[in-house]
A and B are shown apart, each in its own frame.
Chain A
Amino acid sequence: MERGYKIRSKPDYQSLTWREHALAHVVVAKGKGGMAVLQLFQQMYPRQPVKVLYIRDKDESVDYATTLTKLIGEGLQCFDSEQEGLYAFFRMLSDCHMGTQFYMSGTESFIWSAVKLAKLHGVQEDDVMKQMMASLSRPVYCVHCKGMTTDITTNIATCRKCGRKLFVRDHFSRLLGAYMGLQVDAEDPGEVPEIEEIYP
């Protein structure tokens, strides 16, 4: 990568910290993202109502559900699949009021899946606090078929929808919540450069 060159579309992630002014707090995390939630509760247990949705990641050895249960108690809901967890989060959004603060942690793919659901309820992406955990893996949007492929750790991805080999760009779209993927062998079909893991 060229030194001193910053890609402006790439989101900046933070360490989760409680927002002081809040009506309520909602925390959504998956897999190793649970560590960011534990760190949040090391800071304090806020006075306002708190809801935590935690999704276990079956591909990972860590499971923070037990520790989180001890720490949080009844405000915690645990899920075994991302779909289930995100569905519960989406349903919860209609009961949330203005002033609710949102915190998300996990892989970039997971964070943006959750952010996009919140955006459907008028929450603006900038107002959600996000901490990337576990991996640098990327969500990739196929600019040809509009398919989304998540948790990509390599320079070239295979589109889950159309099967094209996509070059994973650094250009990130906040609207789509993904990096742009362009067919890598469009000029010379079949000429795919070496595939390497660069987002471990």
Chain B
Amino acid sequence: MSSVNVRVAAVERVTPLVKHFTLVREDGSRLPPFSGGSHVVVSMDAGGKVYRNAYSLMGSPADTNAYHISVRRQERSRGGSLFMHDKVVEGSVLQITLPTNLFAISRMGRKHILIAGGIGITPFMSQLHDIERNGFDYELHYAFRSPEHGAFADQLKARCGERAHYYIDSEEQKLDIRAVLSRQPLGTHVYVCGPGPMVTAVLETAHDLGWPQRHIHSEQFGAPPGGEPFNVTLAKSGLVVEVAGDTSMLQALEQAGAEIDSLCRGGACGRCMVEVLETDGELLHHDDYLSEAEKASGKKMMPCVSRARCTHLLVNL
């Protein structure tokens, strides 16, 4: 996949855990335009180990001079966010993929409900530009831990006014998903980005209230869950790749030089799907792409988030 070298033009601390990075093209030219809700995958070369993390673009799609991403520090993760926080400074050079959008505003929609939890606010920062430009009706519901953790909350309040609703956990304010989703006019679409349980709660509530599937949109860039180490055998080369407990199978395959394509790295897009030829154990599916039937068949898996518990796993790579 084509990628671009970018230079970090500015780093700003937004909350105790979130940093905002401004990225410009290393050669000084303009970056490609994108649509609201897009993300890029940032590659970080940490002395031999390459981290690849997906981050939403937050800036205006009309501004192609710079891309803006925000990174939350995740202490218990594979290390990408720690690298961004501790090692990346103004002037650092990173590699990013071209923007991809799996979380765009539906143009069929007459109203849009944006639900964010914590750092899940970032895709909405660029989606809001598209919403404003089209003059769509919307509501923003933003839940965060405590006042100092509400990244961009003041900026958004100034921008969205009464359309912005905040729920601060430390002040015991709670988002009532069912109430919000029960009072929306026909033609409304809902978008959720945040921690797993929040995303699940929104999806389940909308489904339960009878919202059609195509009116419900979600995005989740959780770190892929770790687990027990296992080995993967590549059928074409006979190569055996070891997947460590804190590494994703995709990352391990990439490091071993396997030819594998990927896009969202979060189990949503289906690009990295591998065909499972044999296994003596169990596949641990964590993606949102495969249907329940496909997961049960044990013939396909998404190495970006899914793992296996086995002593033998043969894939068609």
Task: Mark A residues whose CB is within 8 Å of B.
Answer: 19, 21-23, 93-94, 96-101, 118, 121-124, 126-127
Complex-state Cα separation, A23 to B183, whole angstroms = 10
Closest Cβ of chain B to A95, distance in Å, is 9
Complex-state Cα separation, A123 to B109, whole angstroms = 9
CB contact between B183 and one of A97, A122, A123 (< 8 Å): that residue: A97
Residues from chain A with Cβ under 8 Å of B207 in the complex: 21
Q: Which 7 A-B pairs have the closest CB atoms?
A: A122-B187, A99-B210, A99-B209, A22-B210, A122-B110, A98-B184, A121-B186
Residue of A nearest to B213 (CB): A127
Interface centre among B184, B186, B188, B211 (most CB of A within 10 A): B186
Residues from chain A with Cβ under 8 Å of B182 in the complex: 23, 97, 99
CB contact between A97 and one of B109, B110, B184 (< 8 Å): that residue: B184
Complex-state Cα separation, A74 to B75, whole angstroms = 59
Complex-state Cα separation, A121 to B212, whole angstroms = 14
Binary interface profile of B, 214-231, with partner A (CB < 8 Å = 1, else 0)? Answer: 110000000000000000
Residues from chain B with Cβ under 8 Å of A100 in the complex: 186, 210
Contact between chains at A98 and B110 (CB < 8 Å): no
Residues from chain A with Cβ under 8 Å of B181 in the complex: 98-99
Contact between chains at B209 and A96 (CB < 8 Å): no
Contact between chains at B186 and A93 (CB < 8 Å): yes
Complex-state Cα separation, A127 to B181, whole angstroms = 18
Complex-state Cα separation, A21 to B186, whole angstroms = 16
Residue of A nearest to B183 (CB): A97
Interface residue? B108 (CB, 8 A): yes
Residue of A nearest to B110 (CB): A122
Question: Could you list 21 examples of A-B contacts with CB < 8 Å?
Answer: A21-B209, A21-B210, A23-B182, A23-B210, A94-B185, A96-B185, A97-B182, A97-B185, A98-B184, A98-B188, A98-B210, A98-B211, A99-B209, A100-B186, A121-B185, A122-B108, A122-B110, A122-B185, A122-B187, A122-B188, A127-B214
Interface residue? B86 (CB, 8 A): no
Complex-state Cα separation, A23 to B184, whole angstroms = 11
Complex-state Cα separation, A65 to B23, whole angstroms = 67
Interface residue? B172 (CB, 8 A): no
Interface residue? B208 (CB, 8 A): yes
Residues from chain B with Cβ under 8 Å of A118 in the complex: 186
Contact between chains at A19 and B186 (CB < 8 Å): no
Contact between chains at B108 and A121 (CB < 8 Å): no
Residues from chain B with Cβ under 8 Å of A127 in the complex: 212, 214
Closest Cβ of chain A to B139, distance in Å, is 12
Residues from chain A with Cβ under 8 Å of B214 in the complex: 124, 127
Contact between chains at B187 and A123 (CB < 8 Å): yes
Closest Cβ of chain A to B188, distance in Å, is 5
Within 198-254 of B, Cβ neighbours of A (below 8 Å) are at: 207-212, 214-215
Given the known inter-chain contacts A23-B182, A122-B188, A123-B186, please indicate yes or no for A99 contacting B109, CB distance below 8 A: no
Residue of B nearest to A93 (CB): B186
Residues from chain A with Cβ under 8 Å of B108 in the complex: 122, 124
Contact between chains at B211 and A99 (CB < 8 Å): yes
CB contact between B186 and one of A22, A96, A126 (< 8 Å): that residue: A96
Contact between chains at B110 and A121 (CB < 8 Å): yes
Complex-state Cα separation, A124 to B188, whole angstroms = 11
Closest Cβ of chain B to A156, distance in Å, is 36
Interface centre among A122, A123, A126 (most CB of B within 10 A): A122
Contact between chains at A98 and B109 (CB < 8 Å): no
CB contact between A21 and one of B184, B208, B215 (< 8 Å): that residue: B208
Complex-state Cα separation, A147 to B100, whole angstroms = 43
Complex-state Cα separation, A23 to B214, whole angstroms = 17
Given the known inter-chain contacts A97-B186, A98-B184, A99-B181, please indicate yes or no for A122 contacting B209, CB distance below 8 A: no
Within 168-198 of B, Cβ neighbours of A (below 8 Å) are at: 181-188
Binary interface profile of B, 94-115, with partner A (CB < 8 Å = 1, else 0)? Answer: 0000000000000011100000
Complex-state Cα separation, A126 to B214, whole angstroms = 10
Complex-state Cα separation, A19 to B207, whole angstroms = 11
Closest Cβ of chain B to A48, distance in Å, is 8
